[in-house]
Chain A
Amino acid sequence: MKKAFMLVLIASLAITLAACGAKKENEEGGAQSKVYVFATDASYPPMENMDKDDIVGFDIDFLAAVMEEAGLEYEVKNIGWDPLLIGVENGEFDGAISAMTITDERKQSYDFSPAYFESTNMILVPEGSEIKTALDLKGKKVAVQGGTTADTLMTDIMGVGDTSLKKFESNALALLELANNGVDAVVADSAVVKDYVKKNPDKKFTTILDTENFAPEYYGIAFPKDKELKALLDPAVKTVLASDKYKEMFEKWIGVEPDMTRLLDM
């Protein structure tokens, strides 16, 4: 009995170690130079999402171009939104690229790269809905991803503690809630909403752009406060932004030509 127990214990330890070891080998590649670790929340297509075992999306391509420009080694880890916010703030990660809007509150906790993407929050409603503007959402059931700017905007409109505002772990779950008639509307970044509509042409949805209540937002790469990496990457971000590469990846993931008028002046 005792022997059998020890055997099982050793076997399970061995399996765990083997699993860890396998991962280590992959990372060993660039051991000589520092490998910068970026965090992302890969549940935000088309900006970043999982494709089988790989993280793909606009942000991932953009980061690749920036790091190539800067000549630095890096890797991206998918760790989810809340752990990302905390992990970057306390320096566990060297940076985060995750469709993160630059806001004044967030600037208190992070340093940001120059803005690299323009986005607006958009409302998605079933066809024929009476909702026409963001203010119509008051008193309706609305799903958002918790902790996003959509959450902040809607909390301002609906008030703290209103349970009609349902905060989900991801936009995917929020959109699923709308598809199952659990809510009257979803508020999310325009890229996310458009991507969802494009992928689900059979469902009858209408998108609403309300620039009066939802101002344009700008995504930035977030860094822990006062770290050298920001200075290394800022010029690279600017270079990639002005290049044709940016246009190409924008068309690839977003499907239209980028409007660079405001972005290049920032």
Chain B
Amino acid sequence: MADFRFDIIGEYFPLFMRGTLYTIGISLSGIILGSILGLAIGFGNLSKKWYLRLPMQGYIHFFRGTPLLLQIFIVHYGVVSNILGRTDAVVAAIVALALNAAAYTAEIYRAGIQSIDRGQSEAAKSLGMSHWQMMRYIILPQAIKRMIPAFGNEFIVLIKDSSLVAVIAAPELMYWAKGASSQYARVWEPYLTAALIYLTLTYSLNKLLIYLERKM
């Protein structure tokens, strides 16, 4: 540790910063797209109709039951390259993270909605509310509040998992940390710096979520 080379960090710092922007962008797009897709999957999963429920359950099982690293490779070399006719690491990274996050957020929606006491929906129905009115005015406002901590967790996990897309050479933070590490055959300087940046990202997000929770 005595010969900690700050010059390596200095040289790679602009790249780490650019990589951090990619990390934020990829994770943010992943969680937003994933939450939207997850909403559809979550509601499908809650449906009484089996032909809606079963495919959604299959989807959730697949994406929660296989390693994210594997999903990234499949999306990158299988899905995106076939649709675009060429590979694109950043697109593949966002798609893979969104698909993966959708499975987890779908379960968050389901758990949130099911956690609301049955008496609430019975009361809404006795007032003559339709199913969607009940969801909109009674169930969801309460459920969303309970979902926030779980969403925060998922977002934090996603930021950390986004480091996996370095294997398909998406130029995010981990990619540059690895680049610096292999160029100089050094471990501490690039990886500790990357760890510190990830920590800053997750810590600020955590603070933001606590603030949001208190506001709601």
Contacts and interface: CB of A to CB of B under 8 A. Distances in A.
A81 B18 CA distance: 25
B1 to A, nearest CB: 13
A147 interface: yes
Contact of A182 (B11, B89, B175): B89
Given A86-B185, A163-B171, A182-B89, A176 B77 contact: yes
B155 to A, nearest CB: 25
B25 interface: no
B87 A109 contact: no
Contacts of A237: none
A167 interface: yes
A177 interface: yes
Interface in A36-60: none
Contacts of A169: 167
Contacts of B89: 166, 182
A186 interface: no
B182 A147 contact: yes
Contacts of B81: 180-182
B86 A180 contact: yes
B183 A147 contact: yes
Interface of B is mostly: helix
Contacts of B86: 180-182
B190 to A, nearest CB: 11
Contact of A86 (B11, B179, B183, B187): B187
A82 interface: yes
Contacts, number: 58
Interface string A155-168: 10000110100111
Contacts of B88: 182
Nearest to B185: A85
Interface residues of A, number: 26
Contact of B175 (A85, A152, A167, A173): A167
B13 to A, nearest CB: 11
A85 B171 contact: no
Contacts of B14: 161
B24 interface: no
A147 B168 CA distance: 15
Interface in A177-215: 177, 180-183
Residue of A85, A161, A183 with highest tally of chain B CB at under 10 A: A161
Contacts of B187: 86
B90 to A, nearest CB: 10
Contacts of B11: 160
Given A86-B185, A89-B185, A177 B178 contact: no
A146 interface: yes
Contacts of B65: none
A109 to B, nearest CB: 6
B192 to A, nearest CB: 14
Contact of A180 (B77, B175, B179, B181): B77
Given A82-B181, A85-B182, A166 B169 contact: yes
Contacts of A81: 182
Interface of A: 81-82, 85-86, 89, 109, 143, 146-147, 151-152, 155, 160-161, 163, 166-169, 173, 176-177, 180-183
12 contacts: A82-B181, A85-B185, A155-B183, A163-B171, A166-B169, A167-B175, A167-B182, A168-B168, A173-B167, A177-B169, A181-B87, A182-B81
Given A82-B181, A155-B183, A182-B87, 19 more contacts: A82-B178, A85-B185, A86-B185, A146-B179, A147-B183, A152-B183, A161-B15, A166-B89, A166-B169, A167-B178, A167-B179, A168-B167, A173-B167, A173-B169, A181-B81, A181-B85, A181-B87, A182-B81, A182-B89
Smallest CB-CB A-B distances: 10 pairs: A147-B182, A182-B87, A181-B86, A166-B169, A180-B81, A85-B185, A180-B87, A163-B171, A146-B182, A161-B15
